[in-house]
Chain A
């Protein structure tokens, strides 16, 4: 474990000059604390202790371009943290998010490593620093996964395909796999909307964060629709998926409305409803959040969430730094 920490932080503290010109390196630090009515105690995580996001952490975010004599050939992305949570099985947990190489080919961008599978809102919506999370942190799908993928933008939108391990944060090869595909009309950052249709199929173990809770690979399917719309100050996002997981059918949905206020959208107010419809364990999670850009480097976020299945009311606050070096 010591060797892993040493490697992580030798990367973290690399001299900035190493990335001038062909890359970017950011340092990231966050402090997370809150109160849970179910646990009747102060908590140091925004979701559960088993899920990776969000916890107090320090880490880095590296992006490096590779090029030849006539242009770019690919991109390396590495994004890692050392997270601390006294309630988690591992109090100190090295976490790897992006860890992929993406190559340019005439047909498409192709990636290998740990990146976003081609399914749902999480395939293009970055919640890496946010308290309000998408469906993967509620147990449906994967924010990142190990494997391969390809994507291509078109005039009408984009399409993506991935073949991954279906184990999320943890690499595992025990007959598990996950094939996902998504096509969307509109590119959010260009067209102010994206409406996608996607599907996933595979065999996966039961896993929470880095912990395999049941190693038996079971069939997994998902079919869904996702959408995002930006209009003036308003943001609307939704995701609805259904399928089979761990031998049970499920229906899961997310709707989120946000409004940006103050100069340069420094203040964001959001409300979110998540329906978790696993057979026999149906429930809602209703949340609202506030996010304020205090400085270009520092954001303050607070979340209040009510989960009816566990009758948990949780208030969590976060200070989040993201610093270029």
Chain B
């Protein structure tokens, strides 16, 4: 039995897979109702770059983002949690969250989109920085409503010289403001790849 145990341990340690952290809503029942008033239910599914296209998809996402994926939160096999939002039996939108490296650890940025890919709600779930209050304020979040991926095309996180569409940074946000913008663009690109591009096909 000891041999069996050691063999399995070796089998696991030899695996090429790289672990990752997903991004779930804390309380999906309450959060979905708040982000999507009028919804009657949601369905959770898990997607990953590895399972949806692999290396070519990763390269395409990086190209569209204008920045490389890096670190603990951005590997090809990160499982992304995607919520299909229902009104009765009809899908009326999607909620999707991403992890993003912030100044003091990870930031979880969720977007609620309608079926055309337009942002209905913006929600920062996890953020421990001292700017958390400002970045979570209704005033800051409201600036993202009614925007879509095309509005972020001129914005490159690799060269964060200016915010897109004159989105105003809270006074104390510091580096976390750029981190949030990068997370929003990344989120929109991933949703486009996982959902909207597939619908067009």
Question: Does chain B have a CB within 8 A of A192?
Answer: yes
Question: Does chain A have a CB within 8 A of B88?
Answer: yes
Distance in angstroms between the alpha carbons of A23 and B22 in the assembled complex:
12
Most buried by B among A5, A65, A67, A264: A264
Q: Which of A20-67 contact B (CB under 8 A)?
A: 20-24, 26-29, 31, 56, 58, 65, 67
Closest to A298 in B: B19
Question: Does chain A have a CB within 8 A of B105?
Answer: yes
What is the minimal beta-carbon distance from B86 to any residue of chain A, in angstroms?
Answer: 5
> What does DSSP make chain A's interface, helix, strand, loop or mixed?
strand
The stretch of A132-140, A227-235, A303-311 in contact with B is: A227-235
Whether A263 lies near B5 (C-beta < 8 A) is: no
- On chain A, the number of residues with a Cβ less than 8 Å from chain B's Cβ atoms is 52
Q: Which of A232-261 contact B (CB under 8 A)?
A: 232-233, 260
Closest to A293 in B: B72
Query: Which of B17, B43, B73 has a CB less than 8 Å from the CB of A297?
Result: B17
Query: Which of A22, A71, A293, A298 has a CB less than 8 Å from the CB of B46?
Result: A22
Whether A69 lies near B5 (C-beta < 8 A) is: no
Are A296 and B44 CB-contacts (below 8 A) given A82-B5, A321-B12, A323-B18? Answer: no
Q: Which of B33-49 contact A (CB under 8 A)?
A: 40-48
Most buried by A among B29, B47, B51: B29
Q: Which of A133-187 contact B (CB under 8 A)?
A: 153, 158, 187
Most buried by A among B27, B125, B130: B27
Are A9 and B19 CB-contacts (below 8 A) given A84-B2, A190-B126? Answer: no
Closest to A56 in B: B9
Whether A295 lies near B18 (C-beta < 8 A) is: yes
Distance in angstroms between the alpha carbons of A104 and B32 in the assembled complex:
13
Closest to B132 in A: A192
Chain A interfacial positions (CB closer than 8 Å to B) = 5, 9, 12, 20-24, 26-29, 31, 56, 58, 65, 67, 69-72, 82, 84, 91-92, 104, 109, 153, 158, 187, 189-190, 192, 230-233, 260, 263-266, 293, 295-298, 321-325
A-B contact pairs, 26 of them (CB 8 A): A5-B1, A22-B46, A29-B9, A65-B45, A70-B88, A70-B89, A72-B28, A72-B42, A72-B44, A82-B5, A189-B126, A190-B125, A230-B128, A231-B128, A231-B130, A232-B128, A260-B104, A263-B71, A264-B71, A295-B18, A296-B75, A298-B19, A322-B19, A323-B15, A323-B18, A325-B15
